[in-house]
Structure 1
Amino acid sequence: MDEDVIVSAEWLETHHADPDVVVVDVRDAWEYDGIGHVPGAVNVPFDSFRGGGEEGMLPPKDEWAALLGEHGIDEGTTVVAYDDTHGVFAARFLVTALLYGHDDLHLLDGDYSAWMQGHETSSDAPDVEATTYTVTRPADSPLVTIDEVAAATDEENAVVVDTREPAEYAEGHIPGAVNLDWKEVVDEETRGLKERATVKSIFAGKGVTPEKHVVLYCNTARRISHTFVVLQWLGYDDVSFYEGSLTEWKDADRPLETGSAD
């Protein structure tokens, strides 16, 4: 992923019919069928790929490959994903693909509710020619272990980021972690991201800057994934995430802090 990971509705309007582009709608089937979808989009509901199988919250590798192949996606396909929840579920689809070696990945800026305000929709499922998807795990993965998270809390040039809601953070969080609710970067009116400069400022205000090693955690994989995608869009190079739970953290006899963020 790079700074082009987020694409506008105008970009998608121009490219959704390209033969090398597959648009993925991760909403439930009843929404895809009953409310409509981006023309040509295939439906890969979130529950069909949610974890956890082989590592973290990933689905089993073979199941993932079969799922993408049946929807006409191979490892070289340009993928654009969307949902109707500000992109948080779609981001998880993209991060799953990234962890299984897919490179050409994009998130629609906004969601289906935003798209349908000014763009064509469809109720027809596309004809899809199944293909073979080959998983090639990358040599470097942003997934980190509980020990690596603990080490990051002591690193001078690292910042641990809790992407949960402030009330969840206040009840208990990893010592030294800053709180940045993933929804802070979302514009409720447009349903997409706030302006890039504003988002950069929000992160910087929490001490999350590009020169630092950023370690994300949450209690849901989708919220981590959304923040991860946003950081790629901002050009952050050194971003990791921990997909274990705080229960796992406590079971390993590691302490938690309580209290609200400053």
Structure 2
Amino acid sequence: MTDDWVVSADWLAAHLDSVRVVDVRDAWEYDGIGHVPDAVSVPFDSFRQEGGPEGMMPTREDWEATLSEAGIESGDTVVAYDDTHGVFAARFLVTALYYGHDDVRLLDGDYSAWIRDHGASSEPPDVTPTDYEAGDPDSGVFVDADDVAAAAEDDDAVVVDTREPWEFEEGHIPGAVNLDWKEVVDDDTRGLKPRDAVEELLASRGVTREKRVVLYCNTARRISHTFAVLGWLGFPDVAFYEGSLTEWEADGRPIESN
């Protein structure tokens, strides 16, 4: 994976001829509102699957078919975006990484941020389907409930709940800290806050590079966004629980509330 997990709109504008841009918004937004020039449409629901090999992960065959239809090659540099601060696009990034596509990046901000300074298109590009081949699934990034419970008891690890504060207060995994994924987003720019500010925020919750970070949530996209942010910052050991807090509790495991 490249060190540049997150790229700016200016960077993307300068590299449009050498990257494959993926728009994960709904098809009506792509068609009716416009899109980044030459972006291909891969709606979020097309790679979000109930009962996949890792919770909401699509099967390998479905993922290969989706990327083949979008004209993506295994060696392409792929930049994904949405219009929701990158939270849906982050799930595309995580799915690509899981299936071995190392060179995938997240647009800093979203479509609204892009069109502030850059042009949009209403015409879809000509796409030549490919025979995309996924790599071996990297299941190591996913942990089960036993791993989460062990991390909560480990002084060298921190369990992070990426839901909103009110959700956290109503109930959370014992020992977890709360980091709402939106806390790292700048409302004005729609992109990520400066690195120093995000690092300071993380440190205030006990989330540092020296610790193993285990993420959980009730939605895959929110946890994926935080995963992408930690990758952008260079955190070396980040994993997440693909199961939800609902599943955790249904398994008879304890939760605590504030």
Same fold (TM over 0.5): yes
- Structure 1 equivalent of residue 238 of structure 2: 239
Query: Which has the larger displacement, 133-142 or 149-158?
Result: 133-142
Alignment of 1:23-172 (within 5 A): 23-52=21-50, 53-138=52-137, 141-172=140-171
Paired residue type of 2:38 = G
- Contact 1:22 / 1:80 at 8 angstroms: preserved in 2? yes
Q: Which moved more, 1:103-112 or 1:137-146?
A: 137-146
TM-aligned CA distance change 1:68 to 1:220, over 3 Å: same
**2:197 counterpart letter in structure 1:** T
Conservation of the 8 A alpha-carbon contact between 2:2 and 2:103:
no
Superposed CA offset, 1:12-61 (max 9, x none):
0011122xx11000001111111100000000000111133122220111
1:248 matched to 2:239? The reply is no
Q: Aligned-pair distance for 1:150?
A: 0.8
TM-score by length of 1: 0.96
What's the CA shift for 1:85? 0.3
Query: In structure 1, what is the Cα distance between the partners aligned to 2:172 and 2:42?
Result: 33
SS at match of 2:106: strand
Whole-Å separation in 2 of the counterparts to 1:83 and 1:149: 30
Q: How far off its partner does 1:182 sit?
A: 0.2
Task: Kindly report structure 1 stretches of 4+ aligned residues shifted beyond 6 Å.
Answer: none
Task: Give the secondary-structure state (helix, strand or coil) at the position aligned to 1:81.
Answer: strand
Q: Which residue pairs with 2:7 in the alignment? A: 7
Moved more, 234-243 or 132-141: 132-141
Q: How many residues align?
A: 257
Deviation of 1:235 (Å): 0.6
Matching of residue 223 in structure 1 with residue 222 in structure 2? yes
1:80-131 CA distance string (max 9 Å, x none): 0000000000000010111111100100001000111110110000001110
- Secondary structure of residue in 2 paired with 1:113: helix
Runs of 5+ unmatched residues, structure 1:
none
Residue 22 in structure 1 maps to residue 20 in structure 2: yes
Give 3-state SS (helix, strand or coil) of 2:193's partner: coil
Inter-CA distance 12–169: structure 2 relative to 1 (3 Å threshold)? same
The SS at the match of 1:13 is helix
Instruction: Tell me the TM-score normalized by structure 2.
Output: 0.97
Q: Are the equivalent residues in 2 in contact too, given 1:99–1:141 (CA < 8 A)? A: no
Whole-angstrom distance in 1 between the partners of 2:85 and 2:47: 19
Contiguous gaps of at least 5 residues in structure 2: none
* Displacement after TM superposition at 1:141 (Å): 2.3
- Contact residue 2 and residue 232 of structure 1 kept, 8 A: no
- Structure 1 residue 133 displacement after superposition: 1.1
Q: 1:152-177, CA deviations, whole angstroms, 9 ceiling, x for partnerless residues? A: 11111000000000000011000000
Aligned-pair distance for 1:139? 5.2
What is the alpha-carbon distance in structure 2 between the residues aligned to residue 103 and residue 138 of structure 1?
Answer: 12
SS at match of 1:240: strand
CA distance in 1 between partners of 2:81 and 2:12 (Å)? 11
- Aligned residue for 1:141, secondary structure, equals helix
Contact 2:220 2:242 in 1 (8 A): yes
Which whole-Å CA distance do the structure 2 matches of 1:38 and 1:139 have between them? 30
Worse-superposed segment, 132-141 or 194-203: 132-141
- What amino acid sits opposite 2:131 in the alignment? T
